[in-house]
Amino acid sequence: TKGVVTLDPGYKNTGACESAITFLDGEKGVLRYRGYAIEELAEKAHFLEVCYLLIFGELPTEQQLSKFHTDIKAQSHVDEDVKRILDGFPKAAHPMGVLSSLTSALVAFNPSSVNVDSEEDMYKAIVKILGKFPVLTAWTYRKRMGLPLDYGGDSLGYVDNFLKMMFKKPSGEYTTNETVLEALDKLLILHADHEQNCSTSTVRIVGSSHAGLFVSISAGIAALWGPLHGGANQAVIEMLEAIKEDGGDTKKFMAKAKDKDDPFRLMGFGHRVYKNFDPRAKIIKKAADDLLDNLGIDDDVLDIAKALEKEALEDPYFVERKLYPNVDFYSGIIYRALGIPVEMFTPMFALGRLPGWIAQWREMRLNKEPIGRPRQIYIGETHREFLPVEKR
Ligand code: SDX
C-alpha cells in the first residue's frame, strides 16, 4: 500500500461491488444462485427458469416463465444482413471471435437497445439478446459446417430450439433426443453465473460506462475466450488428445505441469476461488459418465481425464497448491458426446454464462454503480525535459 492506493494485481483481494446474485464459498465448495444450491437447480430446474431466477431474483411462476419465453421468442429473429457479416469471415475463423463481433454488430440492427436507462428498456434489450444469441451461436457453427442458416421452431423449448438450429439436417429433419437435451440443460445451468469472474467483471466495467448491454456482452465473450478462463474447456480436450496421441503417459504430463521452465499447465485444473473442489466439476463428471453410458459411448479421453485427476489428487505439488478439477475439466467430454466440435466448446460456455452476464449488468445499472476506473502504482520515469532529435 502506498498513499491511498493498494496494489492488488488480478484483484485477488478486491471486492469490486456488492451483489445479491451468486454466492460462492471457495473453502466449502458452495455455489448458490439467488440462494438456491447449484446441486438442486442442476437436478430440478430448467435453464430458462434459471435465467429468470438470476436476472430477476426469483424462480418464475408458470405464467411469468411463459411470458418470458414468449417475449424472447418474439425477439429471436436476426436481421438477414447479419448473415452477410457472417459470410465475410473465413470458415476457419474461431467462433468466439465471430460471436464477439456479431454480438457487437447487433447494436447496428437494434439501435434502441444501445443506451437504456429504464427498467422497461433494459427488459427489452435483455429479451433481445436472450433471443438472438442462441441464433448467432448456431449460425456460427452452421457456417463452419457449410450448412444452411435457419431457425428452430416456435413450439420448442429454449434449449431444444437451440439444438434444432444447431443439428437440424439440411432436409429440415430433427428429432429431439431427451438424453442430449437433459445433459445440455444441466450443463448450461452449471455455467450460468459465477460472481465476479474475469468475463463478468469485464461485462460490468464496460457496462459501467453506459456503453449498452450488447457491447458489454461482446466484451464478456472476448474475455471468456482466453485459455485461462472459458477457453480452458477447449484447451482441456486438446491436452487430453495430445496425451492420448503421445501414448497416454499421464505421469509425463504431470511432470511437465510442475516444471517451472515448462509453460505447460494442466488445463482444467486450479481455481482462484475454489480451494477444495469446484462443485460444478463433481456434477459434470457424473453427468459425463451417465451420458456416455446412456449413449453407449466409450471415450478413452475420459479415462485419461480420470487418471490425471486421480494422480493430481495424490501429488504434493497439486495438493499444496490446492489444484483440483474445475468446471472446464469434464465439460468437454459432454460436448464431444453431443457431437459439438471442440472450437464450439467455449461458445457453449458463453451461451450458458449469458444470463449471468445479463443479471450482473442489470444489477450494476439498477444500483447506479459508478464508472469503473481503478488506480495504479506509478513506477516509470520521474519528470524529464524534452530533447530535440539532434541532441538525443
Ligand atoms: C474458469 O474465476 C472464475 O470463477 C472462473 C470460472 C467461471 O465459472 O467463470 O470458474 C471459469 O475460468 C475456470 C478456470 C479455467 N482455467 C484453467 O483451467 C486454466 C488452468 N488453470 C490456471 O491457469 C489457474 O489455476 C487459474 C487461472 C484458474 C487460477 O489462477 P490463479 O488463481 O492466478 O493461480 P496462480 O496462477 O497464481 O497459481 C498458483 C500456483 C502457481 O504455482 P507457484 O507459482 O505458486 O509455484 O499454482 C500453479 C501456479 O504455477 N498452478 C498450476 C495450475 N494452476 C495453477 N500449475 C499447473 N497446472 C495448473 N493448471
- With beta carbons less than 8 A apart as the criterion, state whether 355 and 54 touch: yes
Atom of ligand 1 nearest to the CA of 230: 12
CA neighbor of 218 nearest in space, from 116, 331, 114:
114
Lining residues, ligand 1, CB within 6 Å: 10, 194, 197, 228-230, 232, 257, 265-273, 321, 323, 326-328
Neighbours of 249 (CB within 10 A): 12
**Ligand 1 atom 19: residue of nearest CA:** 228
The mean-pLDDT minimum among 55-64, 112-121, 315-324, 377-386 falls in 112-121
The minimum-distance atom of ligand 1 relative to the CA of 270 is 25
**Residue 71 annotated as catalytic:** no
> Residue 59 C-alpha to ligand 1 middle, in angstroms?
33
Contact between 301 and 241 (Cβ < 8 Å): yes
Percent over 90 (pLDDT), the chain: 96
Query: Which tens digit of pLDDT belongs to each residue from 299-315?
Result: 999 999 999 999 999 99
Nearest CA to ligand 1 atom 32: 272
Cell numbers representing residue 167 in the block: 443439428
> Over 80: is that where the pLDDT of 209 sits?
yes
User: Among residues of the chain, what percentage have pLDDT more than 70?
Assistant: 99
Q: Is the Cβ–Cβ distance between 350 and 99 less than 8 Å?
A: yes
For residues 35 and 59, what is the distance between their CA atoms, to the nearest angstrom? 11
- Among 15, 52, 16, 13, which residue's Cα sits nearest to residue 36? 52
Q: What is the pLDDT of residues 311-321, one digit of tens each?
A: 999 999 999 99
Compute, in angstroms, the gap from residue 178 CA to the centroid of ligand 1.
35
pLDDT value, residue 115: 78
Q: Which of 309, 321, 330, 349 to mutate to test the pocket of ligand 1 (most atoms within 8 A of CB)?
A: 321
Q: Residues 192-219: what's their mean pLDDT?
A: 98
Ligand 1, atom 14, lies closest to the CA of 229
Query: What is the average per-residue pLDDT within 280-286?
Result: 97
Three-state DSSP state, 230: coil
Count how many Cα atoms sit within 13 Å of the Cα of residue 181 in the half-sphere of its side chain: 16
Q: Provide DSSP, 152-189.
A: --TTS-HHHHHHHHHH--TTS-----HHHHHHHHHHHH
pLDDT tier at 84, thresholds 50, 70, 90? very high
Report the distance separating Cα 157 and Cα 134, nearest Å: 12
Mean pLDDT of 35-58: 98
Active site residue 77: no
pLDDT in tens, 100-133: 999 999 999 999 888 799 999 999 999 999 999 9
Dist CA 392 CA 388 (whole Å)? 7
Contacts of 144 (CB under 8 A, 6+ apart): 91, 92, 95, 341, 343, 344
pLDDT at residue number 112 = 86
Q: Which of 234, 323, 349 to mutate to test the pocket of ligand 1 (most atoms within 8 A of CB)?
A: 323
Alpha helices in 175-326 (DSSP H): 178-190, 198-207, 213-225, 232-245, 250-258, 279-295, 300-314, 316-320
Can you tell me the mean pLDDT for 148-164?
94
CA of 105 relative to ligand 1 center, distance in Å: 32
Residue whose CA lies nearest to ligand 1 atom number 48: 321
Q: Supply 219's cell numbers.
A: 466484451
Indicate which residue's Cα is closest to atom 39 of ligand 1. 321
Q: What is the mean pLDDT of the chain?
A: 96
Pull the grid cell for residue 149.
Answer: 442458416
7-28 pLDDT, tens digit per residue, is 999 999 999 999 999 999 999 9
Nine cell digits for residue 378: 506509478
Length of the chain in residues, anyone? 392
Nearest to 159 by CA among 181, 128, 187, 177: 181
State how beta strands 36-37 and 30-33 pair.
antiparallel
From 194, 221, 228, give the residue whose CB has the most ligand 1 atoms within 8 Å, as the site to mutate: 228
* pLDDT at 231 (0 to 100): 98
Given the residues 191, 271, 278, 315, select the one marked as catalytic.
271
| Residue-level pLDDT at 3 | 63
Q: What pLDDT is recorded for position 206? A: 98
Residues 6+ apart with CB under 8 A from 136: 78, 82, 99, 102, 103, 106
Gap from CA of 272 to ligand 1 centroid (Å): 6
Q: What is the whole-number distance in angstroms between the Cα of residue 324 and the centre of ligand 1?
A: 10
Report the C-alpha gap between 24 and 230 in whole angstroms.
18
- Nearest C-alpha to atom 9 of ligand 1 is from which residue? 197
Contact 129, 105 (CB under 8 A): no
- Interface predicted TM-score (ipTM) of this complex, two decimals: 0.98
Asked whether 39 and 30 are in contact (CB, 8 A), the reply is no
Residue-level pLDDT at 114 = 80
Ligand 1: centre distance to CA 267 (Å) = 8
Average pLDDT over every residue of 275-281 = 95
Determine which residue's CA is closest to atom 12 belonging to ligand 1. 229
pLDDT tens readout for residues 336-349: 999 999 999 999 99
> Residue 1's pLDDT is what?
53
The secondary element (H helix, E strand) that includes residue 63 is helix 62-73
CA of 67 to the centre of ligand 1 (A): 41
Supply the pLDDT for residue 154.
84
